[in-house]
A and B are shown apart, each in its own frame.
Chain A
Amino acid sequence: MSQSAITVENLSKVYRIGLREAASDSIGRSLIEFVKSPVQNYRKYRSLYQFSKDELSDEYKGDDILWALKNVSFDVKQGEVVGIIGVNGAGKSTLLKLISRITPPTIGKITIRGRVSSLLEVGTGFHPELTGRDNVYLNGTILGMRKLEVDKKFDEIIAFAGIDKFLDTPVKRYSMGMRVRLAFAVAAHLEPEILIIDEVLAVGDAEFQKKCLNKMEDVGKEGRTVLFVSHNMAAVTRLCQRGILLSAGGIIADGEAHDIVSNYLTAGMGTSAAREWPDFDDAPGDDSVRLRAVRVVDGEGQLSEGFDIRQPIGLQLEFDVLRDDQLLMPYFSLTNDEGIMIFSTIDQDLRWHTEPRAPGRYVSTAWVPGNLLSEGMAYLTVAMRTTVRKYRPFHEFDAVAFNVVDKMEGGSARGEWVGRLSGAVRPKLDWTTEYRAASKAAEG
């Protein structure tokens, strides 16, 4: 198990941007330019895929060069399931294309040990005029299967796709859904040593997606090496042990998938699970109370940015009281990614609703029960309320952010469901079912 399946060393991919349109993509224009300036023309002509030492050096300041990937190195062991995440343009797809040999690296080296199948798109090579049967063979071999392997898996593939009746119908007469199912069924039955997947889970209905997720989980368990690019963080945390976070063409984090996902979800937001104001003079507030820290903690009181949806989350406010002339009631509100306020809450320690606080440091914690918040980001706004209307010594919007993740291990409101589950909150409700057998119902 310790042998590497994929070794990536100092990998860089450079694209020339802007020049593309201006470059000599017609011989006629080339010729004119050639007469004008042969040397310049020659450079332009090659520049789409050839780069000078100067252009590749760190000092180069021109803006026609884009480093889609820069100096990326990592190693994937046999049997590892690795999720690659990052915002659009971070270099994920470029990385997969390089490993899939679709486009060559500008610098660096990739060593792959084993048979690779890459799935950058479902249904590559599907031909509308061919029947379902023919397309299974064609697509299967395109994805790297041998004909014999397709023979063996054929019945399974058809059953998985659920298109037995339409086997000998040209694919052009299939519905979109059938096409996608057939394409994924072929892909799901690949048995390469190394599988490279890009965003394929974004297709099909929820039930089919679940089928695919389960199938992919099996693939991972069978000891295959999988590289998986997705925007579906739930799928990444469920399927992958390890995550690699790309940003602007470089690896910014590499580790446990769960950590990387929460890292990704909080990165770039300018907020994290804790915010402290060590310098008293900068701290929000006035001469009666000052905000010193806001934190989001787990059940053990540890700081955390990513929470299991089933676990309680502690919202913590630390403040210094300077004068005892006010009734002070800490206040929290949570907002989700869509800007919708999930709830607001005010201090439930009722003693302080009537009794002024003596000067000193206070830490108030509000506990959000498990199985209440939805998956995704939550932004915490904190304030100090008083009995004086409109008087708030401090009010910090989106002071910190954290992420709620459903690991899909059961015990959440999802149950066995892996599809979309909308709503600002996701309480795990008690459900009951009443059942009457069909015949009795008719009698009654």
Chain B
Amino acid sequence: MNNVTQQDMVTVITAERGWKFIDFAELKNYRDLFYFLVWRDIKVLYAQTILGFAWAILNPAIQIIVFSVIFGQVADIETEGIPYLLFTTVAIIPWTYMSDSMTAASQSLVAGSQMLGKIYFPRVMFPLTPILAKLVDFSISLVILVGVMFYFQVTPTWNLLLLPVLILAMMLVPTGIGMWLAALAIRYRDVRFAMTYIIKLLIYSGPIVYSASKIPPDIRFWYSINPIVAVIEGFRSCLIGTPIEWQYIVPGLVSAVIIFLSGAIYFRRMEKVFVDVI
């Protein structure tokens, strides 16, 4: 046999459960599987639908219309002179992504428990798969964003340079929370039920239908710790070109990173016992 590969791959399995971070080298070994898992998620989502990927546009579009009518027209929320449709569209696009991917990531282990007990691959691929798969929907829904911005003739500003950082943050938040909740949900059934509310709470606390400037100054710091605030406010400034409110963005980005790191470490610590506690 091929002695080179034999010596290359030595796997040692012990009882140890240390404090470790995501093993990127191992992930790389499993990249083909990772690719197919993501691809499966994408392909299966709109299987046997007539509209197919058009749903990726329809879902946020309907949301935007509902919000514009209710909050823009009926409630007439103050948006600092920005047309309400534009104001809410730039928020709903990343919001939809975060909400969808966070829910899917949090449920990933429970949903995949069948596979969990039958095959080994890096467990972190369970929550990471929807994070990547939902990017397809996100990219498609950008069509709406571009359309709305074009309609209101928004000219891009230098703020747009911040977009990659914000997209990264937009992915980090559901990844971190997803890893935390997924690892907890497999042990505590409560989490499976509470998950919906936790996610809704996180999401609705974000400045989607209202402007963050409505938050009283004395609690503004605590408010901005919510990383979703940073992402939404960031998207707004970045795309519409309003002044960047660093006071909202920096604390949120920091907490996004902390949630991600701690989520990854907690997940890794617990991953070995997932099968034993299902």
For B1, give the chain A residue with the smallest CB separation.
A223
Contact partners of A142 in chain B: CB under 8 A: 33, 36, 115, 119, 121
Contact partners of A141 in chain B: CB under 8 A: 32-33, 35-36
For B48, give the chain A residue with the smallest CB separation.
A129
For window 102-137 of B, CB contacts with A under 8 Å fall at: 114-121
Are B32 and A146 neighbours in the complex by a CB distance under 8 Å? yes
Are B36 and A100 neighbours in the complex by a CB distance under 8 Å? no
Contact partner of B9 (CB less than 8 A), chosen from A110, A113, A138, is A113
Are B119 and A143 neighbours in the complex by a CB distance under 8 Å? yes
Q: Is the interface of A mostly helix, strand, loop or mixed?
A: loop
Whether, in the assembled complex, A288 has its beta carbon less than 8 Å from a beta carbon of chain B, the answer is no
> What's the Cα separation between A98 and B5 when bound, in Å?
22
Are B43 and A130 neighbours in the complex by a CB distance under 8 Å? yes
> What's the Cα separation between A406 and B189 when bound, in Å?
51
Contact partners of B277 in chain A: CB under 8 A: 48-49
Are A26 and B188 neighbours in the complex by a CB distance under 8 Å? yes
Whether, in the assembled complex, B276 has its beta carbon less than 8 Å from a beta carbon of chain A, the answer is yes
> What's the Cα separation between A133 and B48 when bound, in Å?
17
Are B1 and A224 neighbours in the complex by a CB distance under 8 Å? yes
> What's the Cα separation between A1 and B191 when bound, in Å?
51
Contact partners of A137 in chain B: CB under 8 A: 36
Are B13 and A193 neighbours in the complex by a CB distance under 8 Å? no
Q: List, sorted by A's number, 9 A–B pairs whose CB atoms are closer than 8 Å.
A: A104-B17, A109-B14, A110-B12, A113-B10, A129-B47, A130-B47, A142-B33, A147-B35, A193-B5
> What's the Cα separation between A103 and B272 when bound, in Å?
6
Contact partners of A221 in chain B: CB under 8 A: none
Contact partners of B167 in chain A: CB under 8 A: none
Whether, in the assembled complex, B11 has its beta carbon less than 8 Å from a beta carbon of chain A, the answer is yes
Contact with B along A342-381 (1 / 0, CB 8 A): 0000000000000000000000000000000000000000
Closest Cβ of chain A: how far from B254's Cβ, in Å?
A: 28
Are B13 and A25 neighbours in the complex by a CB distance under 8 Å? no
With A137-B36, A141-B32, A147-B32 in contact, is A104–B6 under 8 Å at CB? no
Are B118 and A108 neighbours in the complex by a CB distance under 8 Å? no
Whether, in the assembled complex, A115 has its beta carbon less than 8 Å from a beta carbon of chain B, the answer is yes
Are B44 and A115 neighbours in the complex by a CB distance under 8 Å? no
Contact with B along A102-131 (1 / 0, CB 8 A): 111111111111111010110011010110
Are A25 and B187 neighbours in the complex by a CB distance under 8 Å? yes
For B274, give the chain A residue with the smallest CB separation.
A103
Closest Cβ of chain A: how far from B28's Cβ, in Å?
A: 12
Contact with B along A276-301 (1 / 0, CB 8 A): 00000000000000000000000000
Closest Cβ of chain A: how far from B241's Cβ, in Å?
A: 43
Contact partner of A15 (CB less than 8 A), chosen from B35, B44, B276, is B276
**B1, B6, B13, B15 pick with most chain A CB within 10 angstroms:** B13
Contact partner of B6 (CB less than 8 A), chosen from A15, A121, A125, A193, is A193
Whether, in the assembled complex, B190 has its beta carbon less than 8 Å from a beta carbon of chain A, the answer is yes
With A124-B115, A223-B1 in contact, is A112–B13 under 8 Å at CB? yes
For A131, give the chain B residue with the smallest CB separation.
B43
Contact partner of A104 (CB less than 8 A), chosen from B13, B48, B114, is B13
Contact partners of A215 in chain B: CB under 8 A: none
Whether, in the assembled complex, B40 has its beta carbon less than 8 Å from a beta carbon of chain A, the answer is yes
With A26-B189, A146-B32 in contact, is A121–B1 under 8 Å at CB? no
Whether, in the assembled complex, B155 has its beta carbon less than 8 Å from a beta carbon of chain A, the answer is no
Contact partners of A110 in chain B: CB under 8 A: 11-14
Are B118 and A121 neighbours in the complex by a CB distance under 8 Å? yes
Closest Cβ of chain B: how far from A145's Cβ, in Å?
A: 8
> What's the Cα separation between A116 and B32 when bound, in Å?
16
Closest Cβ of chain B: how far from A413's Cβ, in Å?
A: 38
